[in-house]
């Protein structure tokens, strides 16, 4: 077995211990300052599924709100979000951010045209606004869902999914997140689905980044990867330095 798979195997063996460490971290973040609970944006993807499952285990289902926020989202993600909620006992609510997006984008476009990426990032920032409204009102914290792989290359929207109050999955690569998801009882369809920001039709992480999560996670775990991927990964890492901030994480 190579170094990469050996690392993942070790993680699998120790996953229960790792979960306990993360649950303690979440309780410390919420109960330390005497706050009520946590709010998590639920996309139907694996990162938010794992984050929500950890929060529910740490705090109990009455202290966690999951929010599905469609804006021209693929129907499969809504179904997966509902299946997740049933599987982990998550209190899931829906806030449709589509109308706000439809009102805001033409107003900005009166000033200058926006491309698909900019529009997509605007959706992510409307979701952040929604999560903070709920957190504000309830005395909750917003949970971040960005994993170690995404953070390394800055693959998140600044001030969107990249802005939150604490992060229970920050030190985990995408491959480790998959192992954790299995252990937490996340439905299989969410674990095997290709990662996507779903910010525009047909978007997938690997296609947009220009390398695979295996390329990226091999680098993070073993220090080596395919030379062609390495150049692009390090380029994205350099230009995203401004996105890595000081929020408490584990």
Ligand X SMILES: Nc1ncnc2c1ncn2[C@@H]1O[C@H](COP(=O)(O)OP(=O)(O)OC[C@H]2O[C@@H]([n+]3cccc(C(=O)O)c3)[C@H](O)[C@@H]2O)[C@@H](O)[C@H]1O
How far is Cα 47 from Cα 42, in angstroms, rounded to an integer?
9
Angle value at C-alpha 139, between 136 and 103, nearest 5 degrees: 20
How far apart are the C-alpha atoms of 104 and 2, rounded to whole Å?
Answer: 50
Q: Is there a catalytic annotation at residue 150?
A: yes
Site string for Mg ion, 85-124 (x = CB under 5 A): ----------------------------------------
User: Which CB, 59 or 186, lies closer to Mg ion?
Assistant: 186
Quick one: what does residue 41 bind among ligand X, ligand ATP, Mg ion, none, with the CB cut-off 5 to 8 Å set by partner type? Answer: ligand ATP
Known binding residue 242? Answer is yes
User: Which pair of structure tokens corresponds to residue 204?
Assistant: 């997938």
CB 80 within 8 A of CB 189: yes
Q: What are phi and psi of 159, to 5 degrees?
A: 75, 5
The verdict on whether 80 is a catalytic residue reads no
Q: In 3-state terms, what secondary structure has residue 22?
A: helix
Q: Which of 18, 80, 144, 150 is catalytic?
A: 150
Which active-site residues does the annotation give? 47, 150
Which residues are annotated as part of the binding site for ATP? 41-48, 145, 174, 196
Give contact residues for ligand ATP (rule: CB under 6 A): 41-43, 45-48, 67-70, 73, 127, 145, 161, 195-198, 205
Which residues are annotated as part of the binding site? 41-48, 125, 145, 150, 158, 165, 174, 196, 242-243
């Amino acid at each position: 077995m190579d170094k990469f798979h050996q690392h993942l195997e070790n993680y699998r063996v120790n996953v229960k211990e790792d979960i306990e460490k993360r649950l303690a971290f979440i309780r410390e973040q919420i109960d330390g300052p005497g706050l009520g609970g946590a709010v998590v944006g639920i996309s139907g993807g694996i990162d938010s599924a794992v984050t929500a499952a950890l929060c529910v285990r740490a705090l109990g289902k009455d202290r966690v709100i999951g929010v599905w926020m469609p804006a021209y989202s693929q129907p499969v993600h809504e179904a997966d979000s509902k299946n997740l909620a049933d599987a982990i006992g998550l209190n899931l609510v829906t806030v449709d951010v589509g109308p706000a997006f439809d009102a805001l984008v033409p107003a900005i476009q009166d000033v200058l045209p926006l491309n698909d990426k900019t529009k997509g990032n605007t959706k992510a920032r409307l979701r952040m606004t929604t999560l903070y409204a709920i957190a504000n009102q309830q005395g909750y914290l917003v949970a971040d869902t960005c994993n170690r792989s995404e953070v390394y290359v800055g693959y998140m929207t600044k001030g969107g999914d990249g802005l939150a109050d604490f992060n229970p999955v920050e030190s985990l690569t995408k491959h480790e997140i998959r192992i954790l998801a299995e252990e937490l009882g996340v439905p299989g369809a969410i674990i095997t689905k290709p990662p996507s920001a779903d910010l525009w039709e047909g978007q997938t992480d690997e296609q947009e980044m220009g390398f695979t999560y295996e390329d990226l996670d091999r680098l993070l775990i073993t220090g080596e990867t395919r030379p062609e991927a390495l150049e692009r990964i390090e380029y994205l890492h350099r230009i995203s330095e401004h996105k890595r901030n000081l929020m408490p994480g584990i």
